[in-house]
Amino acid sequence: MTGSLEGLLVADFSRVLAGPYCTMLLADLGATVVKVEGPDGDETRRWMPPAAGEDSTYFLSVNRGKRGIVLDLGDPADAEVARALAAKADVVVQNFVPGTAARWGLDFESVRSTNPRVVYASISGFGAGSDQPGYDVLAQALSGLMSVTGQPDGPPTKAGVAIVDVVTGLHVAVGILAALHHRDRTGAGQHVEVNLLSSALSALVNQTGAWAFAGVVPQRLGNDHPSIFPYGPFPTAEGDLVVAIGNDRQFARLCEGLGTPKLAADARFRAAADRSANRASLRPLLVAALSRRSAVAWHAALSASGIPCAPILDIGDAFALADRLGLAPLARTRDGDVVGVRSPVSFSESPVEYRLTPPSPNRDRAWVEREVVARGIEAPADPAHRFGG
């Protein structure tokens, strides 16, 4: 069996996180991805610690499944290889500073002139009209994400991962797949543009919705949810327990499980809106009840009653849990090499396969020149055999 995107060629001129994450997802789905790096390489190779061998784990986490080539776009011969690659590609992904791709004939209009079916994806920090660097932490700051993250009496806080880059990469992948479907129907390629700020505003969902629909500016609530309660961590006799109560029936079961059934009938807490409005009164009552057992003991007892709750694990423990659940969280090549975290998407007919380890610089130059640049533009009758993985 082959992946869903088998036969598609992706020219990846992106670096750091949003673009590489997107193209890794496409590689997982079977596309042949050629990662193009400049002479200095993708800077995330040097973002360490931690490291595995000569590369950072940061770089390794988003670059599996790709062919690798180093091209100096200031060198005419290398620039010609880059343009030839773009001319043959089904998809081009780039995150150059807006306006600079044209220097090398790699902007959308130039690529489209030789490759009218191309799906060309541009990633920027703040749109094509801004040259502000597109770093995730800047997008977290400017989108309002940091303003709603952290304790109410503490400073604005960034998320523990570059979540805006990740969400942007997902948005780019969705846009590319939609554009490929459009191409299948019409024969025409197109330009897909995604920026970090717009992705962050979209990913803030109910928080930005509060402003869009009601003119409300959300504030930091720590681990609390702005609309439902209890929904977050609570101290126990040992460790914190996260409780996630989304409706009145669940709250009644929680109260029964805690041995405080009268709380569910209290007019202050009977409905979700009441619990949210009266959380300052409800919180100490829940904390007192939870103080009788450890988080692990409460998790076992309450989960058995169908009450959504969980202890807080570290990442190592999270991998162990995924293993116990049979989710096989590590992605491995056929040879058994670990190449990161397994794709969360499963397919019944076209399973994900991890074919290549992350590339060392210029590992696949001979392959690219032989299989892509030297080939004719016309694809064979069976597109699944257009490019070998």
Tell me the per-residue pLDDT of 111-149, one tens digit each, with 9 for 90 and over: 999 999 999 999 999 999 998 889 999 999 999 999 999
- pLDDT value at residue 132: 86
Q: Band of the pLDDT at 382, cuts 50, 70, 90?
A: very low
Least confident of 70-84, 91-105, 183-197, 375-389: 375-389
Q: Band of the pLDDT at 190, cuts 50, 70, 90?
A: very high
Q: Kindly tell me if the per-residue pLDDT of 216 is higher than 50.
A: yes
**How is 122-149 classified by DSSP, letter by letter?**
EEESS-TT--S---HHHHHHHHSTGGGS
- pLDDT value at residue 67: 97
Tell me the per-residue pLDDT of 282-291, one tens digit each, with 9 for 90 and over: 999 999 999 9
Tell me the per-residue pLDDT of 259-308, one tens digit each, with 9 for 90 and over: 999 999 999 999 999 999 999 999 999 999 999 999 999 999 999 999 99
Tell me the per-residue pLDDT of 349-365, one tens digit each, with 9 for 90 and over: 999 999 999 999 999 99
Cβ–Cβ < 8 Å for 241, 230: no
Per the annotation, the verdict on 317 as an active-site residue is: no
Mean pLDDT of 363-370: 94
- How much is the mean pLDDT over the chain? 94
Among residues 165, 317, 335, 337, the one annotated as catalytic is 165
Task: Give pTM, 2 decimals.
Answer: 0.92
Instruction: Give the C-alpha separation, 84 to 49, whole Å.
Output: 36
Instruction: Give the C-alpha separation, 185 to 180, whole Å.
Output: 9
- pLDDT value at residue 380: 38
- pLDDT value at residue 384: 44
Residues 6+ apart with CB under 8 A from 258: 286, 289, 290, 302
Q: Residue 189 gets which letter from DSSP? A: -
Instruction: Give the C-alpha separation, 79 to 102, whole Å.
Output: 12
- pLDDT value at residue 9: 97
Q: Which domains does the chain show, CATH number per domain?
A: 9-203+327-385 (3.40.50.10540), 231-311 (3.30.1540.10)
